Each structure stands twice: as structure tokens, then as C-alpha cells.
Structure 1
Amino acid sequence: MTLTRRRTLALLGGGMVVAASASAGTFLATRTPQRALQPWQAAGGYDDPRLFALSYALLAPNPHNRQPWLVELEGSDAFVLHRDTTRDLPHTDPFNRQIFVGLGCFLELMTVAATLRGNAAEITLFPEGRDGPVAHVRLMGGASRDPLAGSILDRRSCKEPFEDRPVPDSAAADLAAYGVVITDPETVARIKSLTWEAWLTEMHTHRALKESVDLMRFGKAEINANPDGIDLGGPFLESLMLAGVLTPESQLDPQSTGFKEGVKMYETMLHATPAYVVLTTAGNDRADEIAAGRRWLRLNLETTRLGLALHPVSQALQEYEEMTPHYGAAHRMLAKPGETVQMLGRLGYGPGTARTPRWPLETRILNG
């Protein structure tokens, strides 16, 4: 997560945080967690076609950046995908629905990347039953390059306010293959209200909030040491840390300045949204969740190709007790009877954002 200079100064009330000294300037200029971002540079740098595709797959979006994938190589052309159960989110994702959506994103990005080498992916879900591995994958030749492959390294989840301009009808039509694009002002206003109220509910549900705060990585050293979770880095955020404004304790204290100003900034971001996109499924078993993740990944690549920005706003879709009213409202508003809303995203024109930290591929291979 990064902050613009304007947003950081707003949080500080315009005050100075770090002394204007040469040493402070040097410190702040070197806050990029290069080691945690290295997997983006390493993507595609493998001779083995499986590792080649997997090195891109691990860049896939996933809930709270938990990266819940483990891979077991098999023979010379196959691998088995396992779910890393230590990466679950028991308070905000008690049924692991979002985790499996993230695994679907991983599988689809792997499939897209494999085509860069002319390979297709033969995927068998749950080869040993629903309690076993997530998928068995075999790569084989004969595939043409996926038209979305060129957007892989530019894909982001943009957690920033969007520009005040509409999503063109032509772009909405292009995205209709993946989900329902909502642009009419009345419905957009209703969804803004829903996402804001749901976000506030999570912020004031202590166990849900603490799950997120416990996964926050404060500053370059923490991000490099644990390149998953919610990264809070960059020179301005580290200024706040040095000033004692941004701490784990402040993020859990609704009375703190950091908490209150964070709420204001998030409200600004959520309301600066011209359109939404919704992904639903007729059912809600694990295969449906993985299929939704695969569609979400392609949607994210397509928005990137079109010059648009996408940001998942999942709080209202979470399935813990305090979120029940918002979950019900989301389904009444966005789904047909019996359907499940798997993903809801803000859609619009946003600024460029930084890459998200990742664990190196070698740490995700069980038998590499």
C-alpha cells in the first residue's frame, strides 16, 4: 500500500514528520523493499516450462496477499497445486471462499503465462476429492499466445481514488464477457453506500480488524522479511512510522489520529468510483469459486489492457456474523435468486500503483 504526497500530508495535518537532514533524506529515498519485489523481475526467467508459468502465476491477486499456494512438481511436465492452510483468514473468510477464488486467479494466470511458451494447461480440479490437492496440472504444446498475456506484468489492484470520468460503453461491452458492469448513477450510488457501510463494519469488528492488522508489514524491513500480507511501505508511510503516527496499536484504536484519518481517506477512495463490476455464480462450491477467480483474473488483465483500473471491495461479501446484513443486501442488489456474488470491484480510471510484494517461487515449491 502506498500513499501520495497529498494524502500523507493530509494525514499529518501539514506538519513535518522527519527532520530535513541529509541522513533523513537518504533514509527515505531507500525505502523500496527491493528483495520483496524481486519475483516481478524474476518472472519468466526459468527454462523449465512449469517454473516459467508458475513464476508469473505467483503474481496473481489474492485475499490479503496471503499467497495461499504450494506446488509439488511431478515428472517433467506436470505439477500438483496444494492450498497452504497456514494462509487462511478465519475471521474475515471463515469458509475459505475468498482463498479459493485466489487459487482460481493463480491457476488462470499460470494458464495465460504458459501460452507465452506455446503451452496449454490441462487442469483437473480436486483429483483426490475435495479434501485433497486443489488441482493437477499438465502442460502440453500446441497453444497460441493468449491475447491478455501482454498485460501480466502491468496488472494491479488499484487502491486509490478514481478519476471523475465515466467508463466508456465500449469498455463496458468488452468486460461483459467476465462480469456485469454497472454504470448507471443510481445503482452506483447504492453500491457506494453498501461498500462504505460494510467497510465500517469490518473496521469496528475487533477480531476482523485485528486479523488484518496482524498481517500488516510496517516498513521496508518487515516487508522484505515477510513479503505477504498488507504492505505498508514507501518514504511517506515510513515517515508516519518514525513519527509514531502509524503503528499496529494505532490501527486497532478507533480513537487514534491514524485510525480516524485512515477512515477519512478510505471514504474518499470508495466514493471516488464511477462504476462497478460484479461476478456471480449459479452455485457456490469450490469449483464455482475457482471458476470465479479465473474470470476475475482475466477481467483484471482486460481492464489493464483497456487502460482502466480495478479494485476488489470484498467486505460486503464476507461471511461472518456482523457482516450478515450487508451480505444480504449485496445479494439482493447484485444477484439473481440462488446466485452467489463471488467478486465486487470498483472500476474506473486510476493512477499507476506500485507492485505488490511476493514470496520467491522457490519458497512455494514443495520439492524443488
Structure 2
Amino acid sequence: MKRKGRRRAVFIALAGILTLLLTAVAVLLVVSGVFAKPHYLQPWEQGYAQRFTDPRVELAAHGLLAASGHNMQPWVIRLDEQNPMSFELFADSQRLTPGADPYARQLMISQGTFLEYVSIAGEQLGYGAEVELFPEGEYEEKNLADSLDMKPVARITLTKQAPVASRLYPYLFRPDTNRGAYREEPLTGEQLRQLQNLNESKDMTVSVTQDGPDLERIKEYTSKAAVVEAGVERVMQETETIFRSNEAQKNKYRYGFSVEGQGTAGIKRHLLQGLVTLFPSLNRGEAAAKQYITSAEASIGNSPAFAMIVTADNSRVSQVRSGMLYSRLTLEAHRLGLALQPLSQALEEYDEMKQVYSSIHHSYAASGGTIQMLARVGAPLKEAPLSMRRNVMELVPAE
């Protein structure tokens, strides 16, 4: 009788624990928003852009899928009222990230990534896209925020032409960044050739490093940069501010960071979102800094190669053009079965990063050029989740 009593007590205790666990899981799933429709993923649908009869908006809907610094999607489109085949691209001054990007260099690169996606989509859909950079002159740097609002980055003029199937177009709909694990093997000779031959400009270079001391040196620079950034409170605060912890926030804001950025998907994503929503301290302060360093070191250590874009100068035009080249690099990498993850920390220009910035430039841009983009490259073990994207009409302000 005593044995039966003990067994019954154990069974009741286990049933109670299981009930608590199931209840906790259910709470986390509900808090995460497991039943919410992910409207923030609609722009990734290939039919999304086709909803818009205005070809300028249709192409902008493709540009929206491009990579951008901090996933801020800092683009404003102004449609020409006189010419239905012309529009201007402005950098959104409301989406500056002065902590990590004090001189708005990454903001300008993000304009270029958008423009290249527009051009590739235009080619596929039967529109030539003539891009004129800074048609009203470059910015007044001492009054940059106002200047961003007043002067367009580019004027795009469309001409109707026969559609040309683009080998890169299908890859517009793939996630631009993969922070997950890559295969250990180096790139093939053909992959190297295709990536390094993308650039046709004499004042820009694309290089891919995957051997010996250079590979280890770049890993050292990027690891140091991650530690530095994690210790700069104002920079980490920017990241915390644009972190979306659950489905409701992602549907409301549709830009910034979320747990998918670390490759978390499926039920694990919802459990983690629920935890971070209920316990925000998990993603703040020292805990966030430690997690950031751990994640960065895992990515950097698992990098068979690095790609670098270097320009002869650091003008606004060069920054935009390097973004255009980076988009082409990303899409070509996808076509070759590869993935990229930008490692922009070592290239950031605030005071605390000065030593790392100077060191990496001394090693790889000693002739006075500027490293505009640095990314890890490799064959991914898993497909990356799609990230948030805004409604394209948010880019077109009502007059």
C-alpha cells in the first residue's frame, strides 16, 4: 500500500510539473503572438509588387527588399507629378543612427543597395532605369539632417523597353543576410572569379580573402570590433530601441531587429519572443552585450572567407555606388549557393572604434581608400529567415 501511495504521489507531482510547463509554454506562445498574421513579410511575396499599377511604386517595392544598415529601410520616394516615369530617392533623415553611424556613411550605402534592386527589377519587368546621382548637388555636411530632406540621392527615369530575363532577379526575394553557420570549405575558384569580377569600376575593388594570415587577421579585427561596440552604451541603446520582441511589435514597426536575426525560427522563435517580451532585461544592458559578443564570435569564427569593397575615396557618390555594388555582390553570392553577413562594426567611425578602424584600413586600404563594406562569405548550412519589411506606400509620403 505504501508503494502504491508513493507511486501515486510521484505521478501527481510529475503531472503537476508537466501542467506547469505546458502552461508556461502556452503563455509564452500567446505573448509572442503565435496566431498573428505576419504582415511584415508581405513585401517578400513575388506578387506583392504587382499590386501597384504605377511602375515607379512597383520597382520601389522591389528596392524595399534590399539590405540596409540596422534594417532601418531609410528610403523616401517622391513621385514626379509631371512625369509618370520619373521619381526621386531621398535618404530618410528620421532613420539616422548617429551612435553607430555618426557620419551617415552606412545610410548612404543603404541608398545604393536600394537603387541596384530597382535597376535589376526594372530590367526584368521591361523598364530601363537611368539613375542620376545627386542631381541637385551633394549635401551640406554641417547641416546634414536638413540637407537629406532637401536634396535627393538620385533621380530615376524609367523608359519602357523589352523585358530582359535577369539571372539575379529571382534572388531579390531571398534574405540578404545569413548570420547562421557556414560550411568550413573555402570558395571554389569559379565562385571567387565570379564575385571578384563583378566590379567594372577603376575606383572600386572587390576582394575575397580566404587563406592564411589575412583570414586570421580579419577575424581578429572583427572580433575586437564586436567587443568594442558591445561596450559603447549609446550604440547598444540604438540596437535595443529598434529591437522588436514579438509579432505585434513587428507588425507595427516592420523595421529594425528581431530574434530571427540570429537564425531562430519555428517554435523556438515564439518561445524566445515570449521570454524577451515578459523579461525585457534579457535583451538589455550587460546581458545584451554578452549575448552580442557571443553571437558575433560564433559567426566570425565560422567564416571560411571575407569579402571587402574598397573605394578610392569616401565621397557620398562613392558610398552610394559601393552600396549598389554590394547588392550585386549579395545577389551573385546567392546565385552561387553562398550567403553573406555584413560585419560593419570594424568600419564604424565613432571615437571608441578609432583604433580598430585605423588598423584594418592600414592593412587593407593603405593607399588612402575607404573600406565601405566587409562581410563574411560562405555556403550556409541553413536558409536564413526573412526579416521585416515596411509597406512600400510608407516610403511615398502623401503630398
TM-score (norm 2): 0.82
Point out the more displaced range, 95-104 or 120-129: 120-129
CA distance in 1, matches of 2:242, 2:136: 32
CA distance in 2, matches of 1:93, 1:67: 14
CA distance in 1, matches of 2:119, 2:279: 40
What does 1:241-320 align with in structure 2 at a 5 Å threshold?
241-243=273-275, 247-254=279-286, 256=287, 259-320=289-350
| Offset from partner CA, 1:12-66 (integer Å, 9 cap, x none) | xxxx9x8325845964792676111111121343332212211110111000011
Q: Residue 32 and residue 308 in structure 1: after superposition, are their counterparts in 2 closer, same or farther (change >3 A)? A: farther
Q: CA RMSD in A?
A: 2.3
- What's 2:218 paired with? 191
Deviation of residue 68 (structure 1)? 0.6
3-state SS of the aligned residue for 2:183? coil
In structure 1, the gaps of 5 or more residues are 1-15
| Offset from partner CA, 1:293-325 (integer Å, 9 cap, x none) | 000000000000001010100000000000001
Matched, 1:35 2:7: no
Q: Residue 246 and residue 240 in structure 1: after superposition, are their counterparts in 2 closer, same or farther (change >3 A)? A: farther
Tell me which stretches of 4 or more aligned residues in structure 1 moved more than 6 Å.
none
Q: Residue 270 and residue 138 in structure 1: after superposition, are their counterparts in 2 closer, same or farther (change >3 A)? A: same
Q: Percent identity?
A: 29
3-state SS of the aligned residue for 1:229? coil
- What's 1:5 paired with? none
- Asked if 2 retains the 8 angstrom alpha-carbon contact of 1:192 and 1:270, the reply is yes
Q: Residue 97 and residue 248 in structure 1: after superposition, are their counterparts in 2 closer, same or farther (change >3 A)? A: farther
Deviation of residue 336 (structure 1)? 3.8
Of structures 1 and 2, the larger Rg is shown by 2
CA distance in 1, matches of 2:370, 2:21: 52
Deviation of residue 155 (structure 1)? 4.1
| Matched positions, count | 350
- What's 1:66 paired with? 72
Matched, 1:156 2:162: no
Deviation of residue 191 (structure 1)? 0.8
Deviation of residue 268 (structure 1)? 1.4
Given the alignment, which residue of 220, 237, 241 partners 1:214?
241
- Asked if 2 retains the 8 angstrom alpha-carbon contact of 1:73 and 1:367, the reply is no
Deviation of residue 210 (structure 1)? 0.8
- What's 1:333 paired with? 363
Deviation of residue 339 (structure 1)? 0.5
Give 2:285's aligned amino acid: D
Give 1:345's aligned amino acid: A
3-state SS of the aligned residue for 1:217? coil
Give 1:36's aligned amino acid: Y
Deviation of residue 196 (structure 1)? 0.8
- What's 1:120 paired with? 128
CA distance in 2, matches of 1:25, 1:97: 39
Deviation of residue 169 (structure 1)? 1.5
Matched, 1:88 2:121: no
In structure 2, the gaps of 5 or more residues are 1-17, 140-150, 199-205
3-state SS of the aligned residue for 2:73? coil
Give 2:43's aligned amino acid: P
Matched, 1:231 2:273: no
CA distance in 1, matches of 2:57, 2:276: 42
3-state SS of the aligned residue for 1:19? helix
CA distance in 2, matches of 1:249, 1:182: 38
Point out the more displaced range, 231-240 or 212-221: 231-240
What does 1:48-59 align with in structure 2 at a 5 Å threshold?
48-59=54-65
Matched, 1:137 2:141: no
Higher helix share: 2
